[in-house]
Amino acid sequence: MSEKDSRGAAAGLRAAGVARTRSAIVTAARKHLIEVGYHRLSLEQVAADAGITRVTIYRQFTSKLGLLDAVADDLAQRSQVVRGMETAAAMADPAAAFRAMVSEMCRFWGTDPDLFRRLIGLAAVDPEADQVVGSREQWRYDQVAAFVRRLADDGRLRGDADVDRSATAIGAVTGFVPCDEMAVRLKLRHDQLDGLVITLLNGVVRLN
């Protein structure tokens, strides 16, 4: 092996080690966040569970809030929600695309409901944490609006509602809190809610 190849292999091993450490920290942080919440989240305990030092957490994530952001990013990556939304958006028929979007949203909420409950509850009381959750919620509403615009162009909005009003109503109905309540009360998985949610949304848009 040449010196260049050796350096490349060493760099690859270091990068893999950093990735494993990062994953261990995020996994430990998720566990403790669910168990005790954000304000009681102990970076010392997270570090102990991940087998590293607290200094390593700060090197990787800068702050406790940075760690929370990484936990939220990991949730999105695990769920593959961006890919799911892109697949729905690629459908030619606006109504079919919209239904696929709603199904994807319900599936997304079922990825890790316990973590979603913590994150959304935290965002309601902590302005800094709200920035972490709020930016992702804005992305979700932007996605909804894009699908609603396609329905509007196809003449499928009901009454005199415009895109903004329709997207706001649909974004609210497809949010985690109402979907989670329906899932809990009906004893269903979140990914089993799409039919019910689509029925509710037929009061806003025409899908047939």
pLDDT at 208 over 90: no
Better-scored residue on pLDDT, 183 or 128: 183
Note whether 111 and 190 are same-domain residues. Answer: yes
Does residue 57 sit within a domain?
yes
Q: Which spans in the chain are helix H?
A: 3-36, 43-50, 54-61, 64-79, 81-89, 94-109, 113-125, 127-153, 163-173, 176-186, 194-201
pLDDT (0 to 100) of residue 2: 57
Does residue 208 sit within a domain?
no
Average pLDDT taken over every residue of the chain: 91
Q: Identify which of 38, 27, 65, 186 has the alpha carbon closest to the alpha carbon of residue 120.
A: 38
Note whether 111 and 156 are same-domain residues. Answer: yes
Note whether 108 and 162 are same-domain residues. Answer: yes
Please provide the size of the chain in residues.
Answer: 208
Note whether 153 and 193 are same-domain residues. Answer: yes
Does residue 74 sit within a domain?
no
Note whether 49 and 97 are same-domain residues. Answer: no
Range of 138's domain? 80-201
Better-scored residue on pLDDT, 208 or 155: 155
The arithmetic mean of pLDDT across residues 81-92, rounded, is 97
pLDDT at 6 over 80: no
pLDDT at 121 over 70: yes
The arithmetic mean of pLDDT across residues 118-131, rounded, is 90
pLDDT at 185 over 50: yes
Q: Identify which of 167, 163, 149, 157 has the alpha carbon closest to the alpha carbon of residue 89.
A: 149
Note whether 64 and 84 are same-domain residues. Answer: no
Q: CATH number of the domain that 54 lies in? A: 1.10.10.60
Give residue-wise pLDDT tens across range 39-64. 889 999 999 999 999 999 999 999 99
Number of structural domains the chain divides into = 2
The arithmetic mean of pLDDT across residues 173-182, rounded, is 97
Does residue 73 sit within a domain?
no
Better-scored residue on pLDDT, 68 or 5: 68
Does residue 94 sit within a domain?
yes
Note whether 156 and 54 are same-domain residues. Answer: no
Q: CATH number of the domain that 121 lies in? A: 1.10.357
The arithmetic mean of pLDDT across residues 105-111, rounded, is 97
Does residue 75 sit within a domain?
no
Amino acid occupying residue 101: M
Note whether 57 and 116 are same-domain residues. Answer: no
Note whether 95 and 192 are same-domain residues. Answer: yes
pLDDT at 136 over 90: yes
pLDDT confidence band for 9 (50 / 70 / 90): very low
pLDDT at 14 over 80: no
Note whether 105 and 193 are same-domain residues. Answer: yes
Residue 132 CA to chain centroid, in angstroms? 11
pTM attached to this predicted model: 0.86
Better-scored residue on pLDDT, 148 or 38: 148
Amino acid occupying residue 54: R
pLDDT (0 to 100) of residue 29: 95
Note whether 102 and 184 are same-domain residues. Answer: yes
Note whether 47 and 19 are same-domain residues. Answer: yes
